[in-house]
Structure 1
Amino acid sequence: MNRDQNVPEFSRPLKAESVGPRGRIEKLTANPAERAALAERFSILTVDSLVAEIELRPHRRDGIALKGRLVADVTQACVVSLEPVPEHVEVEFERVFEPGAENADATFSVEELFDPEGEDPPDPLIDGIVDLGDVVAEELALSLDPYPRAPGAEIPAAYRPEPEAEAEKAPPQGTHRPFAVLKGGRDT
């Protein structure tokens, strides 16, 4: 596909200043060409539908906070049989965009950045614009089943792992001396 690598497949840019003090709601629907391009990007068979509703509100001085919900129907290839596997996706998400957020490591410690229970650092708001379509595409990608499997699909017996040989039996309780090697095998 010959497309500009800097333009997302599903692009809906929005200027932060257009949100206003009361916020606003945006409804997005991907057209057939956008859905086909997203399917190619995600290496799946099809994106049959993709719609989202996003509530935007001002955040701090120049940022935007958004809360959204996307609904999509996609088809992926089964990881075992390659048969088509339809999937219905419904996801709610929240994101915050702030100018200067591309330098998040300067404001968040390493512990904060890698704390799974912690607050996510804000996404960068570059030139005062957030691409709502690309946000929705990212959330869809994160929500796809990584191992889609058709009902009844089983790995052929020739490709299944062999049963593991019986592990060596541990010596009876009290007879194993793990530090004996350090002492040259002597009992003390």
Structure 2
Amino acid sequence: MSSTSPSTTSLRVSDLSQSGPTAFNLRPDKAQLQAIAQELGLDGLRKLSFEGDVRPQGKSDWVLQARLGATVIQPCVVTLEPVTTRIEAPVARTFLRDYTETDEPEAEMPEDDTREPLGTSIDPAAIMLEALALNLPEYPRKDGAGIDSVAVTEPGKKPMTDEDARPFAGLADLKARLEDDKDS
């Protein structure tokens, strides 16, 4: 994720070593963790680390490789009770000087979604936030939490059950009745 306006964690491409990796190790403090949790809609964020390096690739491209570690708290999609999840994920980005995007309105997604255009800086903190957002569980569920059957209908009417909703549920019964009619 190239940044046009450098932040405190941005690495200016012109300052990066051409002969070897430039290491980084981000560990947000408590106030930063709270701000990130709020931004991502989390109930809590206990730990967050992003450690890796940026190294040259060829004459003008750069590769970021890192490891994301986080402990997040989200509401269970069934019970709304807090669910704590540990996230450990590798993160890779390739910043290309000659990156080109297609102008076609309905172009397919590229197979390699780790490629990005190279700007004047590379911001590991922005990449960390993006990677965290992409690795969050979409539907966190507390162990043992399940959905019981729900029956809703107008007063005085029989509620429709899951069995009633199955399109072929009555065929076996119909077949059995037709066979009984043949036998009689």
Indicate whether the TM-score tops 0.5.
Answer: yes
Report the Cα offset of residue 62 of structure 1. Answer: 3.0
Partner Cα separation in structure 2 for residue 165 and residue 50 of structure 1: 46
Corresponding position: 1:134 with 2:126: yes
Report the Cα offset of residue 14 of structure 1. Answer: 0.9
Who is 2:118 aligned against?
125
Partner Cα separation in structure 1 for residue 26 and residue 131 of structure 2: 14
The letter for the 2-side match of 1:14 is: L
3-state DSSP of counterpart to 1:41: helix
3-state DSSP of counterpart to 1:51: strand
CA contact (8 A) 1:78 1:85 kept: yes
Who is 2:40 aligned against?
42
3-state DSSP of counterpart to 2:129: helix
The letter for the 2-side match of 1:47 is: L
CA contact (8 A) 1:16 1:63 kept: no
Partner Cα separation in structure 2 for residue 121 and residue 75 of structure 1: 27
Identical amino acids, percent of aligned pairs = 27
Corresponding position: 1:162 with 2:162: yes
Partner Cα separation in structure 2 for residue 53 and residue 45 of structure 1: 24
Task: Encode CA deviations 1:76-125: one digit per residue, 9 max, x unaligned.
Answer: 10001110000001001210113463x4226xxx4xx535xx33362123
> How does 1:11-50 map onto structure 2 within 5 Å?
12-20=9-17, 21-50=19-48
Report the Cα offset of residue 142 of structure 1. Answer: 0.9
Who is 2:109 aligned against?
114
TM-score (norm 2): 0.72
CA contact (8 A) 1:11 1:134 kept: no
The letter for the 2-side match of 1:13 is: S
Give the ranges of 4+ consecutive aligned residues of structure 1 lying more than 4 Å apart after TM superposition: none
Q: Residues 78 and 159 (structure 1 numbering): CA distance in 2 closer, same or farther, change over 3 Å?
A: farther
Partner Cα separation in structure 2 for residue 159 and residue 19 of structure 1: 62
> CA RMSD for the aligned pairs?
2.9
3-state DSSP of counterpart to 1:89: strand
Task: Encode CA deviations 1:14-65: one digit per residue, 9 max, x unaligned.
Answer: 1112221212211111111221121112211111110111121013333321
Who is 1:82 aligned against?
80
Aligned partner (choices 55, 59, 66) of residue 57 of structure 2: 59
Q: Residues 142 and 19 (structure 1 numbering): CA distance in 2 closer, same or farther, change over 3 Å?
A: same
The letter for the 2-side match of 1:125 is: L
Structure 1 spans left out of the alignment, 5+ residues: 1-5, 170-188
Report the Cα offset of residue 166 of structure 1. Answer: 4.2
